[in-house]
Amino acid sequence: MLKGKDDFCEVPDLGSLKQEGKFRLVYMDYVSGKPVDSRVLEAMNPYHREIFGNPSSLHLLGDLPVEAVENARKAVADLIGAKDPKEIVFTSGATESNNLALKGVCFRNQNKGNHLIISAIEHISIINIAKYLEKFGFKTTSVGVDKYGLVNLDKLEKQIRPETLLISINYANNEIGTIEPIKEISKIAHDHNVLLHVDAVAAEGQIPIDVQKDGIDLLTLSSNDIYGPRGVGALYIKSGTMIEPIIQGGGQERGLRSGTENVPGIVGMGKAAEIAKKEMESDSARIQKMRDRIINTVLDTIDHSYLNGHPTLRLPNNAHFRFDYVEGEAILLGLNMRGIAVSTGSACAAKRLEPSHVLIATGLLKEEAHGSLELTLGKYNSEEDVDYLLESLPQVIDRLRKLSPLTPKEE
């Protein structure tokens, strides 16, 4: 039942549990965390023990990691269409990248202004960074969205002031999957001489991103969201963009992110970016086919079920529903008992009892938002996984509705 009993920690052997018929394991929470691609692990391995030198060292074992880091930088730049690999700064993850983008721009340019604009459905890390900046005299405006989660462009432009430094909008929402009109937002920002930061964590590796064509000044990326290792991320910073570092030290990453480079992790992110660029189109097409089957079947077979997010302008792996008369957490637990891993919203806010701020921003009532279920597929899902979900979900919903005092009584 357990592997590695003599190791530091014991690891559950999920494979043996499945073979023993204990449960069928289906993972549909890829937005919260992805497994690392085996090819990525293979690329990383030499940099743990064989090529372990510090890139700042002036000898051969320091030169080899430098070359590996620069190759990874080029691969990440190629994934997003960056003009120069030097525009990529490696970080410890998306949250640090968001901090560097928002704080870096605001603190570096506070002599020019003190105002930033975000959308009402940004990731909680963006929202909390904006709140932090307010302690230093910066002002934040949150722009509303329509019922699908699309940013209102007219309202966005009207909120721009002479002192506005930055607009930060997610490329696609991590909960409901809606893809934002980034090119149009970029034009509005640049027409008013305002920088545009885009959190692309939910979108990267699923849909094409081109920072030059999209007119993006800063772009946040995460390694694990393209099947790379956790604890690594990157921030694209367009050449000429003035930004202040938030971590001081030895001056690594062009002085913008000090600290000894996580070489194995960076190599892993580079390999993951390389794979994503080659396989994204075919993977996304296959995943979207499964997603569409889920959406169509659920809406056709389960009464009082609704799709959250835009019906077509959505990420290929995202199916986000709400169901009347039941709680999302109860659905999650019911599916979990059948071995199906899903979510009710962002993993970063999963322990909060409040309904999703994203769903509330789209106009749902609190009781409606509480009945939400988020399914996010990945490249390791199969049609058999979909079969099992579509067999299990109606049974779970039916059972919960029979127990719920909110369900209308049949006459």
Closest CA relative to residue 406, chosen from 359, 360, 371: 371
Encoded amino acid at 54, one letter: N
DSSP state of 150: -
Closest CA relative to residue 287, chosen from 322, 308, 314: 314
Q: Which residue has the tokens 């490696």?
A: 90
E strand map for 223-359:
233-237, 305-307, 318-323, 340-341
Closest CA relative to residue 393, chosen from 272, 296, 294: 294
Structural contact between residues 101 and 108, judged by C-beta atoms closer than 8 angstroms: no
Q: Please tell me the distance from the alpha carbon of residue 354 to that of residue 85, in angstroms, as a whole number.
A: 41
Could you say which of 25, 36, 341, 348 is catalytic? 348
Q: Has 348 been annotated as catalytic?
A: yes
Residue 240 burial (C-beta neighbours within 10 Å; 0-12, 13-18, 19+): exposed
Q: Please tell me the distance from the alpha carbon of residue 189 to that of residue 167, in angstroms, as a whole number.
A: 7
Indicate which residues carry an active-site annotation.
Answer: 348
